[in-house]
């Protein structure tokens, strides 16, 4: 079954953090908790979302949600490889199970992983126990594919954080926010995406883009232009600020 073609909303507001209005969401399947996470982080995660790089300045961190996708994620990986940029991939559990080989390629290229829930449900009114079960199920799905690879981050679907930050932190995952989103879920055209990123980027910004959940070919093409154009303007690419 191809989950990413199901037409579920997978968007975020442009340029801001926070929640986004959305229509009816599919009923959440009861999540099943099985085992726990991989290696424990060296220091506790906190419930405060990280949305910047460690050192600010003219640095920017690219993050990609809703994959893996067998076409667009692979093409994005080739672009990132060409430009030697490492990013964070926020993985949708159903897509991990559908395309495990793409997850292995993400890890092989040295990118970092984030959980992005099992079914891309809106968790804003979920109780912690239900959130915990879903996040563990997602991490278990990832661990089945890439055993021992840590999942240091969690990003809530739709930015509907609810009580997910505290649960993610209790599982060793740092909530991962963003400072810039550019509406690539529409999508508005490659030129427009390039313009929005170049005009919207601020020092140290975590940028939210998508490599799954729909046709993301415009995002991939935009990233291929954004990286060299930002570098020409003195920017460099970094990871979101990590806890020590
Ligand atoms: Zn998403």
Tens digits of per-residue pLDDT, 5-60? Answer: 333 344 444 333 433 333 333 333 333 333 334 444 456 899 999 999 998 899 99
Active site (annotated) includes residue 4: no
For residue 8, how far is its CA from the centre of ligand 1 (angstroms)?
Answer: 10
pLDDT of res. 44: 83
Q: How far apart are the CA of 23 and the centre of ligand 1, in A?
A: 14
User: Residue 2: is its pLDDT beyond 70?
Assistant: no
Catalytic residue chosen out of the listed positions 95, 111, 152, 210: 210
Q: How many angstroms separate the CA atoms of 148 and 234, rounded?
A: 36
CA of 65 to the centre of ligand 1 (A): 5
Going by pLDDT thresholds of 50, 70 and 90, the confidence category of residue 243 is low
CA separation for the pair 91, 176 (Å, rounded): 12
Catalytic residue among 4, 51, 65, 224: 65
Q: What is the pLDDT of residues 101-124, one digit of tens each?
A: 999 999 999 999 999 999 999 999
Give the Cα separation of 85 and 237 in Å (integer). Answer: 7
Supply the CATH classification number for the domain 42-237: 3.20.20.370
pLDDT digits (tens, 9 = 90+) for 160-204: 999 999 999 999 999 999 999 999 999 999 999 999 999 999 999
Tell me, in angstroms, the distance from the centre of ligand 1 to residue 147's CA: 23
Q: In angstroms, what is the span from residue 183 Cα to ligand 1's centroid?
A: 12
Angle at 79 between CA 75 and CA 83, to 5 degrees: 170
Domain ranges (residues) in the chain: 42-237
Higher-confidence position of 39 and 213? 213
Report pLDDT digits (tens) over 120-160.
999 999 999 999 999 999 999 999 999 999 999 999 999 99
* 99 given a catalytic annotation: no
């Amino acid at each position: 079954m191809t989950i990413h073609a199901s037409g579920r909303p997978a968007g975020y507001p442009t340029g801001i953090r926070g929640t986004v209005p959305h229509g009816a969401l599919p009923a959440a399947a009861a999540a099943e908790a099985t085992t726990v996470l991989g290696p424990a982080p060296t220091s506790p995660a906190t419930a405060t979302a990280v949305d910047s790089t460690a050192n600010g300045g003219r640095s920017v961190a690219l993050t990609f949600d809703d994959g893996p996708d067998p076409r667009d994620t692979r093409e994005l990986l080739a672009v990132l490889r060409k430009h030697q940029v490492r990013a964070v991939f926020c993985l949708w559990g159903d897509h991990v199970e559908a395309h495990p080989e793409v997850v292995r390629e993400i890890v092989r290229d040295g990118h970092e992983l984030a959980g992005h829930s099992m079914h891309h449900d809106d968790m804003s009114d979920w109780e912690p126990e239900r959130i915990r079960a879903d996040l563990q199920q997602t991490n278990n799905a990832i661990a089945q594919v890439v055993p021992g690879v840590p999942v240091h981050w969690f990003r809530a679907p739709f930015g509907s954080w609810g009580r997910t930050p505290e649960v993610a932190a209790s599982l060793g995952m740092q909530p991962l926010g963003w400072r810039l989103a550019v509406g690539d879920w529409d999508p508005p055209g490659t030129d427009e995406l390039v313009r929005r990123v170049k005009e919207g980027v601020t020092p140290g910004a975590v940028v939210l883009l998508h490599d799954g959940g729909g046709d993301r070919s415009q995002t991939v093409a935009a990233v291929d232009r954004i990286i060299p154009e930002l570098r020409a303007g003195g920017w460099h690419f970094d990871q979101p600020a990590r806890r020590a």
